[in-house]
Amino acid sequence: MSETIRILVVEDDPATLRNLLCWLGTIAGLEVVGCAMSGAEAIAQIPALCPDLLLLDLELPDTDGIEITRWTRAHHPDSEVLILTSFEDETKVFLAMQAGASGYLVKRMIPSRIQEAIREVMAGGVVLEPRLARRFWNLFQSVKTGGEAADPSLSLEGVERDVLIMIGRGLTNQEAGEVLKLKRRTVKSILARIYGKLGTHSRSEAVVIALRKGLIEL
C-alpha cells in the first residue's frame, strides 16, 4: 500500500455520494480514485483502479453490497472493504464481515470517525460502531456452539493459532504483533498462510471457520 490511501466510493444516493466525495477530497493522505453508483460499475472499475479501500454502501440498485464485498475479497484481496450504510442490524454486520469486510459503520457517524475507521482498517484493524459491536461479538461467539466435526487433515501451527485468536478478539495486525512480539508484516504473512489453509480472504471468516472446526478457542 502506498502512503496515500486510494479509495473507491460506492454509493447510489447522489446527494450522499456528492457529500462523501467533497469531504474525502479535503483530507490529507486520502485520494478518491473513483466512484460508482451500482455494483456493476464498482466491479468494472476495481481491476483497473486497484483501490486500497472500498467505501461501500450495502443497498445498491442492482446487487447487495455483501456480494460486492465477497467478489472484491476473492478477486482483489489487497483491497479492503469498509461498509458505510444505514442498516443497524447485527445479522447484516455478521454477513458483511464473513464476506470479507473489515469494518461496518452507519451513515450517521460523524465524519472524523469515518476518517479514523479508514485508517484503522488500513492498519489491519476491524472496525465496528460501538452500539453494534457487542451484539456482533455475541453473535460471533455463538458460532462455537455449532461446532463441526474435526478435520484431521486441517491444522494450524502454534503461532497461527495465536495470531488468529488475537484477531478474533478484535486486535489489529499491529496490536497482535505487539502482544506476540512479531512485526506487523510478519502478522500479515501469517494471516495469508492461515487464509490459504482455511480457504478464505477474510479475517472474520477465518476466525469463524477455525471456531467451528475446533482449531481455536476465544
- Closest residue by Cα to residue 61 from 95, 17, 24, 100: 17
Round to whole Å and give the CA distance between 214 and 202.
18
Contacts within 8 Å (CB) and 24+ apart, 183-187: 184/124, 187/124, 187/163
Tally the residues of the chain. 218
Predicted TM-score of the model (pTM) = 0.74
**Structural domains in the chain plus CATH codes:** 5-138 (3.40.50.2300), 147-212 (1.10.10.10)
- Residue 120 DSSP code: H
The answer to whether 83 and 58 have CB atoms below 8 angstroms apart is yes
pLDDT tens digits along 145-195: 555 555 667 889 999 999 998 887 777 788 889 999 999 889 989 998 999
- Residue 46 DSSP code: H
Specify burial of residue 159 (Cβ count, 10 A radius: 0-12, 13-18, 19+). middle
**Confidence class of residue 109 from pLDDT cuts 50, 70 and 90?**
confident
Our CA angle for 103, 104, 106, nearest 5°, is: 145
- Closest residue by Cα to residue 53 from 113, 7, 105: 7
Q: Give Rg (Cα) of the chain.
A: 17
